[in-house]
Structure 1
Amino acid sequence: MADDKIITGITMGDPAGVGPDIILQAVANNRLQSQHLVIGDTSVLEAVKKELNYGVEINSVQDVNEVVATAGVVNVLDLDNIKIAELDPGVVQQEAGRAAVEYVKKGIRLALANQIDAVVTAPINKAAIHKAGFKYPGHTEIFAEMTETDDFAMMLYSEKLNVIHATTHMALGEACQTISQERVETVIELADETLQRMGIANPQIAVAGLNPHAGESGIFGQAEIEEITPAIKTSHKQGINAAGPIPPDTVFVRAVEGEYDIVVVMYHDQGHIPVKLLGFDSGVNITAGLPIIRTSVDHGTAFDIAWQGKAYDTSLVEAVKVAIKLADK
């Protein structure tokens, strides 16, 4: 499938955040590689365009068939769910949280109906969506619920380091209790499948330990012995190249040096910290295991710089590139 035939649905994110800004910026700089459909609110994009003087044309459409692949044109499926006069940029607001979730759900429905080839999400704000009555921990859980997916994982992809998480949005103590052989096996399989889909024929997968020194033969914990090592052995029987458990303080160095294509991490910050340290503005979030393609920017709504022209579009541009790569298979 040629890039110009792939349609990426870009959800606008929280209207009060940097999502509208980075979308307009990417189009103004001609950095989106496919036909795109922004799922959001035309009035918000027009307001940000005027505020920041972006030289783009906003094309409101009613149907995916009306999308045009023209430089400088922002195609928008206008859900018209924000009262622009009442929107306060950079502030947590109930209505903005509600709208952000509605954009995401519309994108998922379009992808499930095969009207778009992938969903690329701009950032939502967890406090805002909770204020609106949605108790999702984040984007990933919305996608899992609407696609009826049980086995999924968050993967952070970048040029320097790739990680995939066994657990994500939960308290650290709960995450430690959640690590199980079954879950680690599932995440290893998802890592292997996703990287193969991205063109890596024989992925080399490192599995991080949960405890310091990967447990030091049980001195610092039993998770490596009881859960992680058995999962790795099972993956070997399936023909997957997984190594570990490797001490968390060395595994990322080995991966960055090229020994491994991805690291299976045990909890949220174990994976997020090294990826963001190496490439804060260029990381991409992929939800592995879904029946549809979903990629996302790897940053938040950045309310402190919303609607100011200070945000960078790099992560969004990379997320679109990765979505195209996954769709073109």
Structure 2
Amino acid sequence: MHNKPIVATMIGDPCGIGPEVVVKSLVLDDIHALCRPLVVGSVESVQQTVDMLKYDVTVRRVTDVEGVGLDPKVIDVYDTGQLDPKYITLGKANAECGHASAAWLKEMDELALAGKVQATIMGPINTDALKMADKFDAVVGVEVGKTYLFLITGPLRVVHLTDHIPLRQVCDIISPDLVYKALRTIHDDFTRWGIPNPRIVVAGLNAHAYGEEDTQQVAPGVEKAKAEGIDVT
């Protein structure tokens, strides 16, 4: 049992739907058969949610991962006191909860980087609350060319070249080198993850290929990747 991976889930914004979504998922029958779940967030928020849903489970505050996620009747919450529960008001965004959400994400990432948890999940956050706390860029900011939004559905993997950038700026940002770096990263990481020689298809930037960006800014990056043996079209 102790060999199962610890999966940490941040509750999201405690004033939103995140705590309810997380708690409902943790009482599903097969969760503990797959992993040892750990919640990162406010123990008071989780307890409030459990009481609202009338679930027969115990909510336990923890500050370490030792022994967590072993009892299906216990929800372990990694809570280091980032939020005063008086700020938890359902349906109303505030800076305190935005600050706490950012802090919980950082704590969860630190647990993963330290090897204490094997996977992380982020619950629904509130961008308004993050902006109130001046934490929006720290949480959702993506550095173009170094980090990529990665989506999975069935056998399909989708990687964004840019993210959280106004559309009017995208054409100025995209370059052959940016496209090549993304393709190189996708090929190398997918191979490392057990998908050798992945087939990559690059979506066009302009509808119906109107404009010169696809031929001048996208295609050269694709051709450079192809020349290095990457299976891309």
The 2-side partners of 1:30 and 1:140 are apart by 36
Indicate how the Cα distance of structure 1 residues 240 and 194 shifts in structure 2: closer, same or farther if over 3 A, else same: same
Question: Could you say what secondary structure the match of 1:64 adopts?
Answer: coil
TM-score, normalization: structure 1?
A: 0.65
Residues 238-264 of structure 1: CA distance to partner in whole angstroms, max 9, x if unpaired? 321111xxxxxxxxxxxxxxxxxxxxx
Is 1:242 aligned to residue 202 of structure 2? Answer: no
Question: Could you say what secondary structure the match of 1:96 adopts?
Answer: helix
Q: Aligned-pair distance for 1:231? A: 0.9
Q: Aligned-pair distance for 1:10? A: 1.4
The amino acid that maps onto 1:181 is: P
The 2-side partners of 1:179 and 1:170 are apart by 11
Indicate how the Cα distance of structure 1 residues 221 and 150 shifts in structure 2: closer, same or farther if over 3 A, else same: closer
The 1-side partners of 2:22 and 2:140 are apart by 18
Indicate how the Cα distance of structure 1 residues 192 and 3 shifts in structure 2: closer, same or farther if over 3 A, else same: farther
Unpaired runs of at least 5, structure 1: 244-329
Are the equivalent residues in 1 in contact too, given 2:45–2:85 (CA < 8 A)? Answer: yes
* Counterpart in the other structure of 1:126: 127
Are the equivalent residues in 2 in contact too, given 1:25–1:54 (CA < 8 A)? Answer: no
The structure with the largest alpha-carbon Rg is 2
Q: 2:164 aligns with which of 169, 172, 176?
A: 169
The 2-side partners of 1:239 and 1:3 are apart by 42
Unpaired runs of at least 5, structure 2: none
**Higher RCO (C-alpha 8 Å, min separation 6):** 1
* Counterpart in the other structure of 2:20: 21
Q: How does 1:61-80 map to 2 (within 5 A)?
A: 61-80=62-81
Q: Aligned-pair distance for 1:116? A: 1.8
Question: Could you say what secondary structure the match of 1:25 adopts?
Answer: helix
Q: Aligned-pair distance for 1:85? A: 3.4
Is 1:192 aligned to residue 187 of structure 2? Answer: yes
Q: How does 1:128-167 map to 2 (within 5 A)?
A: 128-136=129-137, 138-139=139-140, 141=142, 151-159=146-154, 161-167=156-162
Point out the more displaced range, 18-27 or 75-84: 75-84
The 2-side partners of 1:156 and 1:41 are apart by 28
Question: Could you say what secondary structure the match of 1:71 adopts?
Answer: coil
Residues 137-187 of structure 1: CA distance to partner in whole angstroms, max 9, x if unpaired? 74354xx7xxxx961100111126431101110110011211111111122
The amino acid that maps onto 1:224 is: D
* Counterpart in the other structure of 1:221: 211
Residues 188-230 of structure 1: CA distance to partner in whole angstroms, max 9, x if unpaired? 22322343344332311110110122x2xxxx21111112111
The amino acid that maps onto 1:66 is: G
Q: How does 1:1-329 map to 2 (within 5 A)?
A: 4-32=3-31, 33-136=34-137, 138-139=139-140, 141=142, 151-159=146-154, 161-213=156-208, 215=209, 220-243=210-233
The 2-side partners of 1:201 and 1:211 are apart by 30
Are the equivalent residues in 2 in contact too, given 1:61–1:76 (CA < 8 A)? Answer: yes
Are the equivalent residues in 2 in contact too, given 1:140–1:154 (CA < 8 A)? Answer: no
Q: Aligned-pair distance for 1:110? A: 1.6
Are the equivalent residues in 1 in contact too, given 2:12–2:123 (CA < 8 A)? Answer: yes
The 1-side partners of 2:176 and 2:189 are apart by 20
Question: Could you say what secondary structure the match of 1:60 adopts?
Answer: strand
Identity among equivalent positions (%) equals 27
Are the equivalent residues in 1 in contact too, given 2:19–2:45 (CA < 8 A)? Answer: yes
The 2-side partners of 1:92 and 1:169 are apart by 21
Question: Could you say what secondary structure the match of 1:66 adopts?
Answer: coil
